[in-house]
Amino acid sequence: MSKIGKRPIELPKGVTVTVKDGQVEVKGAKGTLTRPFPSYLTLEVKGTEVQLGIKADVASSEATKMYGTARAHIANAIKGVSSGYSAKLLLLGTGYKAEQKGQVLNLSLGLSHQVVYTLPATVKVKEINQKGTMAVSGKNEQGVTIELESHDKDALGQTVANIQKHRKPEPYKGKGVNVLGQTIIRKAGKAGGKGGK
């Protein structure tokens, strides 16, 4: 049985968790999230904690596998609707720019065309700084920083991945779309030869 699944989840004040029709609904100050909830699991709210379990008449390996996964999804949702998630991107490169128009990001990433990306409804732009700084692989770099926030961790993570795929960081100078907390293994550039014959 999953050790993670057995751990109780702390329930912050103002957050409610309910299960109905195969879905678990989590409500809080920052929004509402629903996630699939397997029929072979149980959920019980005990004061300020949420406890998951496996039904007594279920002994499948699938239930054991999904026990910890379901607990992780619910814990992420609870944190999201109570305190939220954020992500920071650094556009590193000559001429790189970012502009926001509502839920649309217009990105100049050194390509022959401008990248137009529509954000999901649950993801918002907190700030765009054309001369921001961010630590990349242990070194402070200056470029265009974009801060995103959301109560939905899955949607935020997918948004970051979708933006980054347009210009993944190259390993020499880190040029591209960098993500805070992501380590890029740098490579040394080729050194010119000396006194060749």
What domains are there in the chain, each with its CATH number? Answer: 3-82 (3.90.930.12), 85-179 (3.90.930.12)
**By percentage, how much of the chain surpasses pLDDT 90?**
73
For 89-100, the pLDDT digits (tens) are 999 999 999 999
* pLDDT interval class at 26 (50, 70, 90): very high
Query: Across residues 150-169, what is the average pLDDT?
Result: 97
Of 11-20, 74-83, 112-121, 174-183, least confident by mean pLDDT is 174-183
- Mean pLDDT, the chain, integer: 90
The whole-angstrom separation of Cα 72 and Cα 76 is 6
The whole-angstrom separation of Cα 39 and Cα 163 is 36
Higher pLDDT, 182 or 11: 11
For 63-83, the pLDDT digits (tens) are 777 888 999 999 999 999 999
Q: Over 50: is that where the pLDDT of 197 sits?
A: no
Look at residues 186, 134, 125 and name the one whose alpha carbon lies nearest to residue 160.
125
Tell me the pTM.
0.86
What's the confidence (pLDDT) of residue 73? 95
DSSP string over the chain: --HHHHS-EE--TT-EEEEETTEEEEEETTEEEEEE--TTEEEEEETTEEEEEE-TT---HHHHHHHHHHHHHHHHHHHHHHT-EEEEEEEESTT-EEEEETTEEEEE-SSSS-EEEEPPTTEEEEEEEEEEEEEETTEEEEEEEEEEEES-HHHHHHHHHHHHTTSPPPTTT--EEEETT------PPPPPPSS--
Higher pLDDT, 189 or 21: 21
